Structure 1
Amino acid sequence: MSSSRSIALILLAVLATLAAGCAGETIGAGPNGALAVQGAVAENSAADNEPLAFDDETTDQAATDQGTTETSPAASGEVRMARANWSSGYMQAEIYAHLLTELGYTVDRGPELAPEDFFQGLAEGEFDFWANSWPISHQRFFDTAMADGTRAGDKMRFIGSEMLLGGLQGFVVDIATATSANIVTLDDIANNPELRSLFDTDGDGRAEIAGCDVGWGCEKVIDSLIVDNGWEDALVQVKGTHGELFAEQVARFEAGEPVLAFIWTPGPFITQLQPGVDVIWLGVENPDPAQSIPARLPTDQCLLDPCTMGFSPSDILVAANNDFLDAQPVAKRLFEQVKISVLDVSFQNVKMLAGEDSPEDVARHAQEWIAANRSDVDRWLEIAAG
């Protein structure tokens, strides 16, 4: 069996387990960035307003000839998008760009950004949308005060149901260390100097978590988790390029050294360090209330019951500027229709891990996805065109 085939089968098995474990809930978008679970806005949300949200700039000038939907007169002009600076979101962004082009828009793909920068630009009208929102982690950007005295969330919103419960994120530790040291939660590490020393490479007494890029929502959540639990002298988030930090953890694992890292799905990470085989998800006993919804994971993947992980399972959605949505009902209707499978995205991520990671590769992956889902795509385009 080929290596890529083996990885794909592992990924399918793991993601099927995760999908089954989280079935039945919808967690993510509510009013103007508010948090919602099964449609009910979470009590801790700060938002209570009206209901809803390639490094080089490139532009599609013409629609592809694959679609069957005629261009709508209302679908005209330029759409200014951006994409997130993590590779697991590249294909989704490209799919939306292609579909908007099929409708007759000119699409400026714009820059690759961290959420902190994107949401500021979205609220200010610099961008029209992106397809890479994790509402629970990104809600904090909706609470930003604007120069005119308004709240950023008054100017943008999450929209649609792109990938419901597509996002699972948290901390993992290698099974060998967890078993020998009886580690079940992140709290166990934070509260025990001997355990902290296993993950302390610079001798400052703090366990190091291979964390997130600066400006990502997860960076803010992890920092807040450490402060809220009084762990400033016990834990530290190592920030940098996540892919590089994770690669270092994989190297440590292969060398038989302890591993403590932040990961998420969809993505290739769980094919390199597989939950239940190589690592376990760490529980978090006192997460932020907004991040306290447990994941329903098997006990070989998370030992805490219920499995609160410091991050609630999250939808992955489009976020768009309100003025753009009001001015472009065709695009708005498209955003409301598109659905992308977390398995499809994860398999594409594995292709990228295997070397198909150029902009041309990502564009081809998106085109292949559209072709494979042509009947659904045509229905979405027909509804969008009105």
Structure 2
Amino acid sequence: MIRKTGHRTLLAGAMAALLLTPAGSLLADEHLPGEGVSVTPARATWDTGWFPAGVYSQVLAELGYEVERPTTLDNPPFYQSVAQGDVDFWVNGWFPLHNTYRETFEQGAELIGYVARGGALQGYLVDKATADEHNITSLEDFKDPEIKALFDSDDNGLAELVACPPGWGCELVIEHHIEAYGLTDHVEPIKASYSASMAEALGRFQEGEPIFFYTWTPNWTVGLLEPGEDVVWITVEEATLPEDQKEFEDATVVEGVEGCVEDPCNLGWPANDIRPVVNSEFADNNPAAARLFEVMSIPLEDIFAQNARMFDGEDSEEDIQRHAEEWIDEHREQVDEWLDQAREAAM
């Protein structure tokens, strides 16, 4: 599937026709299976996923693909767009969290490979000082009038939870939890911009005020608010998930979670895989790209480290692309192996 556009943007770091080894010598294999093919990536609205999007786009460009600027989309429009072929891929699929979108995309798109397999945790946290003083260990504790009053800054009788904006997969699970655990009259999910809401929560924490929030890993939140030192993961009494994730209710208990109030820790959320979601026609027509998606990955700790740099102020488009370039340079040998496998798939 070759598409031509009037405005094509090659991401920084792409090689035009020659690849260099770390020592600077020319590689004999100059095969560019993506030459002449325009690729339209998408990326999620959560900025913690923009770094992996940059890395994958730049490596695709090294195969000769003309990679356009990514389109930033919420989950529902992305999964519809990738199924229809309006975009070719993103690397921000969270599964099983995004199982709710399978019916939307599976007729025209597919999961290929893993950005990060397992270990992407989610759950609810409370600042440690408040949790220790008031013995807060579970979502169930927010039914206590004295507990929820601690987190009720606007005096409306509800504890404020920094939650997920509309369109995010976690929004649906949080809504399910609030209803299933009987918290509708006790907890108010804040659905504004996540970064802005968490920045406000961080400010309250620094002033010694209680905070209650949802987060996921990798994320800058658990870098600035260290579990076990600044905040604690709280638990659920028994896991309950939406219908599309019911089969994973036995997978919400995780051992060795740093900073959880219990071990093993029932977070109420299964650990997720972060996966590329790719238009099937694009994958069929571009075996080199499909193979690259199969073999590439980025360690969670590397995503976490880059997210921390973003929160420290390195958050412009130029910064994110530079971070991607630096990661590729630091892992040049591994990246070259992936590129070789991708080229072989196209022969």
TM-score for both structures, normalised by structure 2: 0.87
* The one of 175, 188, 198 aligned to 2:141: 188
Identify the residue that residue 307 of structure 1 maps to in structure 2: 265
Residue 280 of structure 1, CA deviation: 0.3
Deviations 1:148-186 (A, max 9, x none): xxxx32322221122112411211101111111111111
Mapping for residues 225-264 of structure 1, pairs under 5 Å: 225-264=177-216
Deviations 1:63-84 (A, max 9, x none): 3555545233465411111111
Write the distance in 2 (CA, Å) between the matches of 1:374 and 1:279. 37
Identify the residue that residue 46 of structure 2 maps to in structure 1: 86
Identify the residue that residue 234 of structure 2 maps to in structure 1: 282
Write the distance in 2 (CA, Å) between the matches of 1:305 and 1:70. 52
Write the distance in 1 (CA, Å) between the matches of 2:212 and 2:131. 10
Deviations 1:314-354 (A, max 9, x none): 11111111221112111100000101111111211222222
Return closer, same or farther for 1:121/1:175 CA change in 2, 3 Å cut-off. same
Alignment of 1:368 with 2:320, yes or no, is: no
Alignment of 1:208 with 2:169, yes or no, is: no
Deviations 1:241-294 (A, max 9, x none): 111111111111111111101122112111221100011001122331335522
Deviates more, 1:195-204 or 1:99-108: 195-204
Identify the residue that residue 174 of structure 2 maps to in structure 1: 222
Matching residue's letter, 2:326: E
Residue 303 of structure 1, CA deviation: 1.9
**Aligned length, in residue pairs:** 321
Matching residue's letter, 1:176: A
Identify the residue that residue 59 of structure 1 maps to in structure 2: 9
Write the distance in 2 (CA, Å) between the matches of 1:356 and 1:340. 20
* The one of 250, 254, 276 aligned to 1:295: 254
Secondary structure of 1:197's match?
Answer: helix
Write the distance in 1 (CA, Å) between the matches of 2:310 and 2:125. 23
Deviates more, 1:116-125 or 1:289-298: 289-298
TM-score for both structures, normalised by structure 1: 0.78
Secondary structure of 2:113's match?
Answer: strand
Secondary structure of 1:131's match?
Answer: strand
Superposition misfits of 4+ residues, deviation over 6 angstroms: none
Identify the residue that residue 25 of structure 1 maps to in structure 2: none
Q: Which runs of 5+ in 2 are unaligned?
A: 1-6, 21-26
Write the distance in 2 (CA, Å) between the matches of 1:381 and 1:237. 44
C-alpha contact 1:72 1:104 (8 A) present in aligned 2: yes
Matching residue's letter, 1:81: P
C-alpha contact 1:63 1:104 (8 A) present in aligned 2: yes
Residue 203 of structure 1, CA deviation: 2.5
Deviations 1:16-50 (A, max 9, x none): xxxxxxxxxxxxxxxxxxxxxxxxxxxxxxxxxxx
Return closer, same or farther for 1:261/1:346 CA change in 2, 3 Å cut-off. same
RMSD over equivalenced CA pairs, Å: 2.0
Alignment of 1:124 with 2:76, yes or no, is: no
Write the distance in 2 (CA, Å) between the matches of 1:205 and 1:286. 25
Secondary structure of 1:157's match?
Answer: strand
Percent of aligned pairs sharing the same letter: 39
Identify the residue that residue 97 of structure 1 maps to in structure 2: 57
Identify the residue that residue 328 of structure 1 maps to in structure 2: 286
Identify the residue that residue 382 of structure 1 maps to in structure 2: 340
Secondary structure of 1:212's match?
Answer: coil
C-alpha contact 2:19 2:30 (8 A) present in aligned 1: no
Matching residue's letter, 1:155: G
Write the distance in 2 (CA, Å) between the matches of 1:135 and 1:76. 33
Q: Which runs of 5+ in 1 are unaligned?
A: 1-56, 145-151
Identify the residue that residue 121 of structure 2 maps to in structure 1: 168
Write the distance in 2 (CA, Å) between the matches of 1:275 and 1:367. 30
Matching residue's letter, 1:182: N
